[in-house]
């Protein structure tokens, strides 16, 4: 049975260069552990499929971390926070460039997402540390909210990664569009390596089933572990 975790204190105003406080629902606060047990399949059933195509990569990578355990979520959070922080100076420089004036709203949005993510990921990292095997029992472990945060910040990192490589408006538009598309196998493995240290996972792997036409997570014996695009299958049936 899931029990409610501690409710976080009310979020403070984060200023003009950050997003408004995230709206938190009761389901967001439910702990991921059930009866003190880490059950990946139950967590992923609750996590569910993507809501938009742009979430595909983030949900794919978060699912991999969930199956591996809280220690990999902790590692992902550490890597992600360092990555988005490194992109910030270049994006701030780009939004002051007169040649990019028409895309300033897009650049502002990325800066706000990164600044917000830097703060949110600190809390997610702390809850992941509380939830690691061997740590003293702590009621303030990982929650569904933390998976939502990771998905949104992975998307911010992918967009930032594409943007910082561009030198003009056309290139920026192409990069943003690319970042919001479901990934092919090469892109998925590249980001898995970036956020989890390598693309080798214990007991699972990424796979592109021809019948699905997208990257999913499967167990080593071939069983489906998680499909971010599951709603597509349901609509086609």
The mean per-residue pLDDT over the stretch 25-52 comes to: 90
Confidence of residue 132 (pLDDT cuts 50, 70, 90): confident
| Total domains, the chain | 1
Q: Cα-Cα-Cα-Cα dihedral of 32, 6, 152, 161, to 10°?
A: -100
Q: Is residue 65 part of a domain?
A: yes
Domain of 68, in residue numbers:
51-236
Q: Do 100 and 172 touch, CB atoms closer than 8 A?
A: yes
Give dist(CA 103, CA 77) in Å, integer: 29
Q: How far out from the chain centre does Cα 69 lie?
A: 15
Instruction: Give per-residue pLDDT as tens, 51-80.
Output: 889 999 999 999 999 999 999 999 999 999
Q: Is residue 158 part of a domain?
A: yes
Residue 7, SS3?
Answer: coil
Q: Is residue 37 part of a domain?
A: no
pLDDT of residue 10: 45
Confidence of residue 135 (pLDDT cuts 50, 70, 90): low
Confidence of residue 172 (pLDDT cuts 50, 70, 90): very high
Tell me what the pLDDT averaged over the chain comes to.
86
Q: What percent of the chain has pLDDT over 70?
A: 87
Instruction: Give per-residue pLDDT as tens, 83-114.
Output: 998 999 999 999 999 999 999 999 999 999 99
Q: Is residue 56 part of a domain?
A: yes
Q: Is residue 188 part of a domain?
A: yes
Q: Is residue 147 part of a domain?
A: yes
| Distances in whole angstroms, Cα of residue 83 to Cα of each of 80, 121, 172, 221 | 5, 12, 19, 33
Q: Is residue 79 part of a domain?
A: yes
Instruction: Give per-residue pLDDT as tens, 197-222.
Output: 876 788 999 999 998 999 999 999 99
- The verdict on pTM exceeding 0.85 is yes
Q: Is residue 12 part of a domain?
A: no
Confidence of residue 138 (pLDDT cuts 50, 70, 90): low
Inform me whether the pLDDT recorded for 237 exceeds 70.
no
């Amino acid at each position: 049975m899931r029990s409610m975790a501690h409710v976080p204190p009310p979020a403070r105003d984060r200023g003009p260069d950050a997003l408004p406080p995230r709206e938190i629902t009761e389901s967001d606060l439910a702990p991921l552990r059930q009866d003190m047990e880490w059950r990946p399949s139950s967590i992923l059933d609750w996590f569910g499929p993507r809501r938009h195509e742009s979430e595909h990569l983030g949900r794919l990578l978060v699912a991999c971390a969930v199956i591996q355990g809280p220690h990999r979520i902790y590692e992902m959070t550490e890597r992600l926070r360092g990555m988005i922080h490194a992109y910030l100076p270049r994006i701030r420089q780009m939004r002051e460039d007169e040649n990019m004036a028409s895309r300033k709203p897009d650049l502002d949005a990325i800066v706000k997402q990164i600044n917000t993510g830097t703060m949110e990921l600190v809390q997610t990292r702390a809850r992941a540390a509380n939830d690691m095997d061997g740590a003293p029992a702590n009621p303030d472990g990982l929650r569904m909210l933390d998976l939502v945060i990771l998905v949104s910040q992975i998307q911010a990192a992918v967009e930032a990664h594409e943007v910082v490589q561009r030198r003009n408006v056309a290139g920026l538009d192409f990069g943003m569009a690319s970042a919001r598309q479901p990934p092919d196998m090469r892109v998925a493995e590249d980001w898995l390596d970036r956020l989890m240290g390598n693309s080798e996972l214990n007991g699972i792997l990424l796979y592109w089933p021809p019948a699905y036409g997208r990257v999913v997570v499967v167990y080593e014996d071939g069983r489906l572990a998680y499909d971010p695009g599951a709603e597509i299958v349901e609509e086609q049936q």
